[in-house]
Amino acid sequence: MLSSSQFFFLSILTLQCLTGLAAKCHVDDEAGLLGFKSGITSDPSGLLASWKTGTDCCTWSGVSCGEDNRVTGLQIYGQPEKKQILSGTISSSLSKLKRLASINLVNLINLSGTPNFLLTLPEIQIVYIENNKLSGRIPATIGNLTQLFALSFSGNRLTGPIPSSIGQLTQLSQLKLGNNMLTGTIPKTFSKLKSLTFLSLKKNQLAGLIPNFFTSLSNLIILELSNNKFTGKIPSSIATLAPQLRYLELGHNYLTGQIPDFLGKFRTLDTLDLSSNKFSGTVPKSFANLTKIFNLDLSHNLLVDPFPQLFVKGIESLDLSYNNFHLGTIPSWITSSPIIYSLKLAKCGIKIKLDDWKPKTTYFYDYIDLSGNEISGSPIGLLNKTDFLVGFYASGNKLKFDLEKLRIVQTLKDLNLSRNMVYGKVPKAISGLEKLNLSSNHLCGQLPPSKFGANSFAGNACLCGSPLPPCKS
């Protein structure tokens, strides 16, 4: 005979078993996930350690289930710096997760395979398979997944063209295919993606003209097309994005023509990158109205004077290097910025005495590049105030100062003062740098120990000691 307390105990057990059974995930989902796990050859940090046969897959890490205990979400995030990565191949058995609505396989680094398993997941809405090693083509029928709201394959090794069927994904708000090896052109069908707010195709091998279809993409906030092989002009319909576009990145292409006047109407623009193209002519006067711009990169083009006066409240990073500018001085809208951390004005025709340049704030500076100008004087005062500088480049100027008096802060990694008139001895503190070029100056004396080769010190007055010939005693 069971006592009443034993009976009570047993019924709780039975109850737990029953609820346990009820909460158990669908057999197809369990099989699909275990199939995924069996495709993983190495999981050094145990990301999938809780994925065990016979336990409720809804409790496995990274797995989420809907009300009927079907798996609706799979979220696995790696942290490569902590050795949290996965090696292996994405198993096509994931296509058994028929109710999957959201899949995030991000920063797993060594996960290969193709995206084809997605095609049999009709309810999929959100796909972020980023920074892995997916290869092959984006399936031509991906346009069948009409519930998709966000699609990202950024940071993989996908090849071939972007399928035009993507134009059928009219719910898409985010489309990120950057950092792959995609070829061909941007499909014209993209004009149907009226809900897009974020389009990134950067770092591929896409070519041809940028289609003139932006009148239809009037919700875009971020447009990243940099590092491709696009040719032609900036299409005029980009003008319609003026009210809300915040990031416009077209750098590192083969774009030509003038920078259009209408860009000055982009009142909310935060970042404009037109670098490393073949833009010619002047920068439009209308840029005076870009009062909210934080990051402006026009470097490596064929732009000419005059550069307009800007009324930006605070620029954070600016690169006007390697055009045909003759700025003469460093413009006051740069000098007065309270938040600037990166200033690159190489070969901008600046003719100042560096001691006379008194930036309002030096606190945030990481990078200063003034190479290839006609700057005289000394950076001693400037570098005395930049506590977090990482790179200082001023090669090919007329700087004349005693190098021993230059403060080399601990954060400094890269110092290039080649082709100036720097004199004095080379200080010991250079041993903390990662890159150094002091060639073609007037330095003298014994070199302190460092990892740098002879061409970091070549062409000076009387430097000696390793890596240069020994000093005469």
Ligand X SMILES: *[C@@H]1O[C@H](CO)[C@@H](O)[C@H](O)[C@H]1NC(C)=O
Which residues would be at the binding site for ligand X (CB under 6 A)?
A: 41-42, 87-88, 110, 119, 141, 144, 264, 285-286, 288-289, 371, 380-381, 384, 395-396, 416, 418-419, 435, 437, 439-440, 455-456
Smallest distance from ligand X to CB 453, Å? 6
Cβ atoms of residues 218 and 242 within 8 Å = no
Q: Which is nearer to ligand X, 107 or 440 (CB)?
A: 440
Smallest distance from ligand X to CB 402, Å? 10
Smallest distance from ligand X to CB 10, Å? 49
Smallest distance from ligand X to CB 452, Å? 7
Residue in this structure with the two tokens 């003034």, named with its chain if needed:
370
Smallest distance from ligand X to CB 141, Å? 5
- Distance of alpha carbon 273 from alpha carbon 376, whole angstroms: 30
Smallest distance from ligand X to CB 119, Å? 5
Q: Which is nearer to ligand X, 160 or 381 (CB)?
A: 381
Determine what percent of the chain falls in helix, strand and coil, rounding each to the nearest 5.
20, 25, 50
Q: For the beta carbon of residue 473, count every other beta carbon within 10 angstroms.
A: 3
Smallest distance from ligand X to CB 234, Å? 17
- Distance of alpha carbon 334 from alpha carbon 286, whole angstroms: 18
- Distance of alpha carbon 377 from alpha carbon 357, whole angstroms: 10
Cβ atoms of residues 120 and 143 within 8 Å = no
Q: Which is nearer to ligand X, 352 or 458 (CB)?
A: 458
Cβ atoms of residues 88 and 20 within 8 Å = no
Residue in this structure with the two tokens 């954070």, named with its chain if needed:
316
Q: Which is nearer to ligand X, 221 or 288 (CB)?
A: 288
CA 154 vs. chain centroid, Å, equals: 11
Q: Which is nearer to ligand X, 161 or 232 (CB)?
A: 161
Smallest distance from ligand X to CB 392, Å? 10
> Helices marked H in 139-240 — which ranges?
none
CA torsion 161-273-286-208 (nearest 10°) is -20
Smallest distance from ligand X to CB 58, Å? 28
CA 255 vs. chain centroid, Å, equals: 21
Burial level of 306, CB count in 10 A (0-12/13-18/19+)?
exposed
Smallest distance from ligand X to CB 113, Å? 10
Q: Which is nearer to ligand X, 227 or 416 (CB)?
A: 416
Q: Which is nearer to ligand X, 78 or 88 (CB)?
A: 88
Q: Which is nearer to ligand X, 155 or 396 (CB)?
A: 396
- Distance of alpha carbon 158 from alpha carbon 321, whole angstroms: 33
Cβ atoms of residues 176 and 156 within 8 Å = no
φ/ψ (deg, to 5) at 99: -100, 10
Smallest distance from ligand X to CB 46, Å? 15
Smallest distance from ligand X to CB 407, Å? 7
417, two tokens? 């003062």
Q: Which is nearer to ligand X, 60 or 393 (CB)?
A: 393
What does the longest C-alpha to C-alpha distance in the chain come to?
105
Q: Which is nearer to ligand X, 178 or 264 (CB)?
A: 264
Cβ atoms of residues 442 and 424 within 8 Å = no
- Distance of alpha carbon 406 from alpha carbon 137, whole angstroms: 54
Q: Which is nearer to ligand X, 78 or 264 (CB)?
A: 264
Cβ atoms of residues 393 and 370 within 8 Å = yes
For residue 232, which of 273, 278, 176 has the smallest C-alpha distance?
A: 278
- Distance of alpha carbon 295 from alpha carbon 395, whole angstroms: 24
Q: Which is nearer to ligand X, 6 or 141 (CB)?
A: 141
- In terms of C-beta distances under 8 Å and separation of at least 24 residues, what long-range contacts does 11-20 make, across chains too? 20/56
For residue 194, which of 254, 240, 137 has the smallest C-alpha distance?
A: 240
Residue in this structure with the two tokens 């890269």, named with its chain if needed:
414
